Amino acid sequence: MSEIGIKDIAAKANVSTATVSYVLNGTRNVKLKTRERVLRVIEEMNYKPNNAAQSLKRKRTNTIGVIAEDVTVFNVPEIIDGINDCADRMDMHILLTNLRLDKRIGRDFDRVESYRHYADNAVSELLSKQVEGIIYIGVHPRDLTGLIDTSGKPIVYTYCYTQKDVSIQYHDEQASYEAMTYLVTKGHKRIGIISGAMDSIPSRLRFNGFYKAVTEYELPFDPQLIKMGNWEAESGYRLTRELFELEVRPTAILAMNDVMAVGVMRAAAEMNIQIPRDLSVIGFDNREFSEYLIPRITTMDLPLHEIGYRAMESLSLLIKGEQAELKPMPKCRLIERDSVAPPRTS
């Protein structure tokens, strides 16, 4: 029975409820002896303060809400972990809501109306529970302006954004630029790129990084080396075949995610092209499997933990009424493995 309350403690310890509260919260000095007595009784009766009553009285709950569009998407757990990490340190608690978008409406994220309902519910519920702020974790970066109304409560977005709220994202452009730099350093000049879906923001950002590298390193610019994929392995496969029908073939391919990199590898295997001897491949996301492929693929690691941590930091600032500081975007990190080598001097 969790029915023991502060007054049960007070009675058993021969003090008033106020005294119990004082020793519990350290709000005022209590004679050592009484304090010890109270503490002992609390221990004995295994008393736990009723959080509902506390929240009602103080105006704080020390709780924030996290809305995840789908916890089963690969990047989400690590972001949550980052939020947790930070929240623990500031003694904040987390109320997690899982929208289950993937299961419920599939991948059709652009039809905002199809899930506004779920989002609204989640927010209402969280607000009802008196959260002091909300972190929204998208499954895919996109503009969510107007989706959510938090009634003035602070909100931070990650893996998506709105036009007026704080959002935390990693540096896509820097990431692909860095990947290109690595390839160039290894001696590659003709580098093919297989993009994600073109209506996606990360795709465009990563393209920017690619162009920047092409320009800065004065690589031969050939539109034929640029292929529009759709994030799926099949597109990596198909486009790699196209790339290899070119008269002058690329010596390296940058795939905008690891899944498409798998497609690249499949195509290569079929055409008897050895990676990395005949073709270098670099992926994106550092998905778990990227380490298990043969060869293990070199890829860009996403700073997911850091994103979560930062989101929590910013939210905490907003809750305190301060301005969220504008730190530079978290960067991706190159994971060097076995799928990149210098081009063959044929």
Phi and psi for 183 in degrees, rounded to 5? -60, -45
31 binds, among DNA, a copy of itself, none (CB under 5 to 8 A by kind): DNA
Which region among 17-25, 44-52, 218-226, 273-281 touches a copy of itself (by CB under 8 A)?
Answer: 44-52
Look-up: residue for tokens 């920017």? 208
What the block records as the tokens of 183 is 């390839």
Residues 192, 60: Cα–Cα separation, whole Å? 54
Q: Report the SS3 class of residue 34.
A: helix
- By CB under 7 A, tell whether 7 contacts DNA: yes
- Residue 93 DSSP label: E
Compute CA 48 distance to the chain's CA centroid, rounded to the nearest angstrom. Answer: 34
| Rounded-to-integer distance, Cα 24 and Cα 9, Å | 11
Span interacting with a copy of itself, options 81-89, 164-172, 174-182, 223-231, rule CB under 8 A: 81-89
**List of residues 6+ apart from 229 with CB closer than 8 A:** 194, 195, 196, 197, 235, 236, 239, 255, 256, 260
Contact call for residue 53 and a copy of itself (CB under 8 A): yes
Which one of 42-50, 235-243, 263-271, 277-285 is the stretch in contact with DNA (CB under 7 A)?
A: 42-50
Please identify, using beta-carbon distances, which residue of 33 and 117 lies nearer to DNA: 33
27 is a site residue for DNA (CB under 7 A): yes
Interface with DNA by CB under 7 A: which range of 24-32, 90-98, 159-167, 261-269? 24-32
259-278: contacts with a copy of itself (CB under 8 A): 259, 262, 265-266, 269
C-beta of 52: minimal distance to DNA in Å? 7
Does residue 31 belong to the site contacting DNA (CB under 7 A)? yes
Interacting positions 7-26 with a copy of itself (CB under 8 A): none
33 binds DNA (CB under 7 A): yes
- Which of 39, 49, 95, 142 lies at the binding interface for DNA (CB under 7 A)? 49
Q: Measure CA of the first residue to CA of the last residue in the chain; give whole Å.
A: 79
Token code pair at residue 95: 């109320």
Binding to DNA (CB under 7 A): which residues in 168-197?
none
Nearer to a copy of itself, 88 or 199 (CB): 88
Question: Does residue 164 bind DNA (CB under 7 A)?
Answer: no
Total chain residues near DNA (CB under 7 A)? 31
For the chain, helix, strand, coil in percent to 5 are 45, 15, 40
- For residue 18, report the phi and psi dihedrals to the nearest 5 degrees: -60, -45
Q: Is 28 in the site for DNA (CB under 7 A)?
A: yes
Applying CB under 8 A, among 29, 32, 33, 46 the residue interacting with a copy of itself is 46
Contact between 280 and 253 under an 8 Å Cβ cutoff? The reply is yes
Taking CB under 8 A as the criterion, the residue among 24, 39, 94, 228 binding a copy of itself is: 94
Number of residues that bind a copy of itself (CB under 8 A): 54
Q: What is the dihedral of CA 101, 152, 64, 28, to 10 degrees?
A: -170
Region of residue 299 (phi > 0: left; psi between -120 and 50: alpha; otherwise: beta): beta
CB of 29 or CB of 346, closer to DNA = 29
Task: Specify the DSSP element, H or E, that contains 82.
Answer: helix 76-89
- Residue 3, interface with DNA (CB under 7 A)? yes
81 binds, among DNA, a copy of itself, none (CB under 5 to 8 A by kind): a copy of itself
d(CA 259, CA 199): 18
Q: Which residues bind DNA (CB under 7 A)?
A: 3, 5-7, 14-22, 24-25, 27-31, 33-35, 47, 49-50, 53-54, 56-58
